[in-house]
Amino acid sequence: MANDELKQTWKVPEPTLRRLPWYLAFVKLLKQRGETSISSTQIAKEINVDASQVAKDLSYVNISGKTRVGYEIDTLIDVLEDFLGFNSTHKAFLFGVGSLGAALLQDTGLGQYGLEIVAGFDIREELSGTSINGIPVYHMSELSTMQKRYGATIGIITVPVDKAQEVTNHIITEGIKALWNFTPFRIRVPEHIVVQNTSLYAHLALMFNRMNSTN
Amino acid sequence: MANDELKQTWKVPEPTLRRLPWYLAFVKLLKQRGETSISSTQIAKEINVDASQVAKDLSYVNISGKTRVGYEIDTLIDVLEDFLGFNSTHKAFLFGVGSLGAALLQDTGLGQYGLEIVAGFDIREELSGTSINGIPVYHMSELSTMQKRYGATIGIITVPVDKAQEVTNHIITEGIKALWNFTPFRIRVPEHIVVQNTSLYAHLALMFNRMNSTN
């Protein structure tokens, strides 16, 4: 999320990557309504972003519009979904089957966007052998064995704050390449490991603060 | 989350509001370990943010450190939790009890951060009268009645994309002041209404893209 976390310069800027899913959601809606083409001006108007910005964002994606007609909606959806990685399957393990962890295991929507959570892990013995939404939960000590079976590349971190760094260190040694960190703890990782922070609590704090400011 | 959504200048900058929960999580961890005071330099070192930035962020919060000793941890936790709104109760309705909506109703962690989801709403008749995690689910047509009973100020939007704007318009007329939008749709609201966008799919897209870039 935070720009200041990115030490290297990425090919596609973060704000662009944040906006592309908005465009995708919008053009999918247009498709539902029977539309077949759209211009960047129309996208801009609906999404409330400059038309030049929309064109620039879409220039990162391998698609070209036609003068007057704009983009073909079917193609735009395919190309955006491919570009955003929603058409590929990324196997993930979830660490910490507490309240938030269990909730995420129940969200089948993530699967439609290319994230397949294949197993959950927890240190509580009583959870081992259970399953949530058809996804098996294993004891943390079985990680090595299960990684050989599943070959997951993503680790979803929903452990308590005081375990976040320890779990991070451990799972990286098991070949996890990217961490989706739901804890408010700033985990540290080697340079080649990707971290995506999604702290719902930070978002809550922002919303509460803005609410007070507008009252 | 996106900076470009904010038309007005807020008193506390968004990056500061994003970092403060990191500091809070870290000092709570120190308290668990028995520490009693901390300097902004120590926070900076651990969180990987400049010490001057930490001091500046904390200057928005009503707390002052002592030379050489730093901040008293108990006080810092109290003051940060108050400032971030985690100590107050904010009543919320959740709209759209699908996969993600039901998952959020099951996450008891949000309650510890000041968000009390008091009811869920859906247009599917069969969900009406049920409850998830002790939270009642009502039919959308009961919103007006239930708002009189509960007086919620926050609306959590987990409806399908094609219903996001319609539901937004509707619930604003019922007195909802802030929207926590989990859909990838860019909802439009009057100026006095607060919107917090948390699209898990946009975060996934970012992570997938970064994974491809580091390989």
Distance in Å from the first CA to the final CA of chain A: 28
Looking at the fold, whether B119 and B150 belong to one and the same domain comes out as yes
| B19 chain-A contacts, CB cut-off 8 A | 2
Chain B interface, best mutation among A24, A107, A108, A159, by max B CB count within 10 A? A107
Looking at the fold, whether B70 and B94 belong to one and the same domain comes out as no
Looking at the fold, whether B120 and B38 belong to one and the same domain comes out as no
Which residue segment(s) compose the domain that A24 sits in? 3-84
Give the nearest chain B residue to A158 (CA atoms). B109
Instruction: For residue A168, tell me if it sits in a domain.
Output: yes
The pLDDT-based confidence of B47 (bands split at 50, 70, 90) is confident
Question: B178 forms bridges with which residues in the sheet?
Answer: B154, B194
Looking at the fold, whether A26 and A63 belong to one and the same domain comes out as yes
Alpha-carbon distance of B194 to B179, in angstroms, equals 6
Q: Which of B84, B103, B118 is the last residue of a domain?
A: B84
Instruction: For residue B211, tell me if it sits in a domain.
Output: no
**Reported ipTM:** 0.89
Residue B122 φ then ψ, to 5°: -155, 160
pLDDT digits (tens, 9 = 90+) for A120-142: 999 999 999 999 999 999 999 99
Decide if pLDDT at B9 tops 70: no
Looking at the fold, whether B51 and B145 belong to one and the same domain comes out as no
What one-character-per-residue DSSP string does A116-183 give?
Answer: EEEEEEES-GGGTT-EETTEEEEEGGGHHHHHHHH---EEEE-S-GGGHHHHHHHHHHTT--EEEE-S
pTM of the model: 0.89
B84 to A89, A113, B12, B32, B78: CA distances (angstroms): 37, 32, 11, 20, 10
Verify whether the Cβ–Cβ distance A100 to B90 is below 8 Å. no
Instruction: For residue A180, tell me if it sits in a domain.
Output: yes
Scanning the structure block, which residue is given the tokens 């704009």? Answer: A70
Instruction: For residue A208, tell me if it sits in a domain.
Output: no
Judge whether A24 is closer than 8 Å to chain B, CB to CB.
yes
Looking at the fold, whether A27 and A109 belong to one and the same domain comes out as no
**R_g of chain A, CA atoms, integer Å:** 20
How many contacts does A have with B, using Cβ atoms within 8 A?
Answer: 226
Looking at the fold, whether B41 and B94 belong to one and the same domain comes out as no
Verify whether the Cβ–Cβ distance B108 to A114 is below 8 Å. no
Q: Which of B32, B52, B84 is the last residue of a domain?
A: B84
The enclosing domain of A20 has a CATH number of 1.10.10.10
Alpha carbons within 13 angstroms on the beta-carbon side of residue B187 total: 34
Instruction: For residue A214, tell me if it sits in a domain.
Output: no
Closest by alpha carbon to B61, among B46, B76, B48? B76
pLDDT digits (tens, 9 = 90+) for B108-129: 889 989 999 999 999 999 999 9
Looking at the fold, whether B65 and B167 belong to one and the same domain comes out as no
**CA of B31 vs chain A CAs: smallest distance (Å):** 11
Chain B interface, best mutation among A3, A16, A18, by max B CB count within 10 A? A18
Instruction: For residue A154, tell me if it sits in a domain.
Output: yes
Instruction: For residue A212, tell me if it sits in a domain.
Output: no
Looking at the fold, whether B100 and B195 belong to one and the same domain comes out as yes
From B21, B188, B192, residue closest to A184, measured CB to CB: B21
Decide if pLDDT at B170 tops 50: yes
Looking at the fold, whether B35 and B122 belong to one and the same domain comes out as no
Domain count of chain A?
2
B45 to A186, B40, B42, B52, B159: CA distances (angstroms): 11, 9, 5, 11, 41
Judge whether A7 is closer than 8 Å to chain B, CB to CB.
no
| A190 chain-B contacts, CB cut-off 8 A | none
Scanning the structure block, which residue is given the tokens 């047509």? Answer: B141
Q: Over chain B, what is the mean pLDDT?
A: 91
Alpha-carbon distance of A48 to B29, in angstroms, equals 41
Question: A157 forms bridges with which residues in the sheet?
Answer: A95, A181
Instruction: For residue B57, tell me if it sits in a domain.
Output: yes
| Binding positions of A for NAD(+) | 96-101
Looking at the fold, whether B145 and B110 belong to one and the same domain comes out as yes
Percentage above 90 pLDDT, chain A: 78
Q: Which of A31, A57, A84 is the last residue of a domain?
A: A84
Q: B169 or B55: which carries more pLDDT confidence? A: B169
Looking at the fold, whether B35 and B15 belong to one and the same domain comes out as yes
The single-letter code of the amino acid at B141 is S
Tell me the average pLDDT across A178-197. Answer: 95
The enclosing domain of B146 has a CATH number of 3.40.50.720
Judge whether A79 is closer than 8 Å to chain B, CB to CB.
no
